[in-house]
């Protein structure tokens, strides 16, 4: 299995930027399609973005399209989420996740999860 550790969260003002990282260890990182999800207090975990194993195909939720970009560097066993033009409604715990085959947008389709990193956007 693969172990995942997120980093890069923090407090930022509205309109600012953050870059989240998800470092993988254990099994070969490039064997896994990856995704970012987020969960705000009192809400269900929601899809943010996903990327295939090679990084050639991505999908982003409509709520973040044009502001967030998912990418990965398999040589570094790391996935990223560049977040620009942040809004207060982006405040949540952000999780990275991995699955053994193709892109997916629902949490139940992912087998492995990190512990999450908090992103807080102040107005």
Q: Model confidence over 30-49: pLDDT tens digits? A: 999 999 999 999 999 999 99
**29: region left, alpha or beta (phi > 0 left; psi from -120 to 50 alpha):** alpha
Q: 81 and 119 in contact (C-beta within 8 Å)?
A: no
pLDDT at 117: 98
pLDDT at 49: 98
pLDDT band at 3 (very low <50, low <70, confident <90, very high): very high
**Is 92's pLDDT higher than 80?**
yes
pLDDT at 10: 97
What is the helix (H) or strand (E) element at residue 71, kind and residue range?
A: strand 68-73
């Amino acid at each position: 299995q693969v172990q995942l550790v997120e980093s890069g969260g923090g407090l930022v003002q509205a309109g600012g930027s953050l870059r989240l990282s998800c470092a993988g260890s254990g099994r070969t990182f490039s064997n896994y399609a990856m995704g970012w999800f987020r969960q705000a207090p009192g809400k269900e975990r929601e899809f943010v973005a996903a990327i295939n194993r090679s990084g050639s195909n991505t999908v982003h939720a409509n709520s973040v399209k044009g502001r967030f970009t998912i990418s990965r560097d398999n040589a570094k066993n790391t996935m990223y989420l560049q977040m620009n033009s942040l809004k207060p409604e982006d405040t949540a715990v952000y999780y990275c996740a991995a699955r053994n085959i193709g892109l997916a947008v629902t949490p139940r389709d992912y087998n492995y999860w990190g512990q999450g990193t908090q992103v807080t956007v102040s107005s």
